[in-house]
């Protein structure tokens, strides 16, 4: 009993608490199930991680293609002062956003193997770094 409670109000509070405790196992089970279900859905995070890897790889692939072919370089030239870099980066951003949209729709309420997704994303990131490294680009082009 608190300092401002009367014996009658303390008794009625205890009864209300007892009634709430009678219902609480059902509520607790439902809230635990929903909390576990919500915490296990890692699809949106996995979609963002994989889309970032795909976008990075697109930068490397488009940069290599733009450097290897004059026709592709001309295609990627959206802004003349920057040359094909403007189209390479803009196109890679479009690929990243589209892949993020598609993957988030596909995995929105699912739980996926986040470790495998992260591994694939880091492999794509490493490949993109290699594809934008000039000595490696020259090696692939036979220069």
Give residue-wise pLDDT tens across range 61-102.
999 999 999 999 999 999 999 999 999 999 999 999 999 999
Q: Output the average pLDDT for the chain.
A: 84
Could you tell me which of 81, 39, 67 has the C-alpha nearest to residue 141?
67
Structural domain boundaries, residue 133:
41-141
27 lies in the same domain as 8: yes
Q: Is 2 left (phi over 0), alpha (psi -120 to 50) or beta?
A: beta
Q: Decide if pLDDT at 35 tops 90.
A: no
Position 143 scores a pLDDT of 80
For residue 82, what is the DSSP state? G
| Total domains in the fold of the chain | 2
35 lies in the same domain as 47: no
Q: Decide if pLDDT at 129 tops 90.
A: yes
Q: Decide if pLDDT at 8 tops 70.
A: no
Report yes or no on whether pTM surpasses 0.75.
Answer: no
81 lies in the same domain as 49: yes
77 lies in the same domain as 95: yes
SS3 132: coil
The answer for residues whose C-beta is within 8 angstroms of residue 138's C-beta and 6 or more apart is none
Count CB-CB contacts under 10 A for residue 49: 19
Q: Decide if pLDDT at 9 tops 70.
A: no
Q: Decide if pLDDT at 29 tops 80.
A: no
CB 122 within 8 A of CB 56: no
């Amino acid at each position: 009993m608190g300092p401002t409670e009367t014996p009658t109000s303390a008794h009625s509070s205890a009864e209300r608490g007892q009634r709430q405790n009678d219902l609480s196992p059902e509520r607790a089970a439902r809230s635990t199930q929903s909390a576990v279900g919500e915490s296990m859905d890692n699809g949106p995070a996995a979609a963002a991680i994989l889309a970032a890897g795909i976008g990075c790889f697109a930068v490397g692939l488009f940069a290599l293609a733009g450097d290897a072919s004059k026709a592709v370089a001309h295609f990627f030239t959206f802004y003349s002062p920057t040359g094909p870099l403007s189209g390479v980066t803009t196109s890679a951003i479009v690929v990243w956003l589209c892949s993020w949209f598609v993957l988030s729709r596909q995995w929105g309420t699912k739980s996926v193997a986040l470790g495998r997704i992260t591994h694939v994303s880091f492999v794509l990131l490493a490949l993109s770094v290699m594809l934008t490294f000039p000595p490696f680009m020259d090696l692939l082009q036979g220069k």
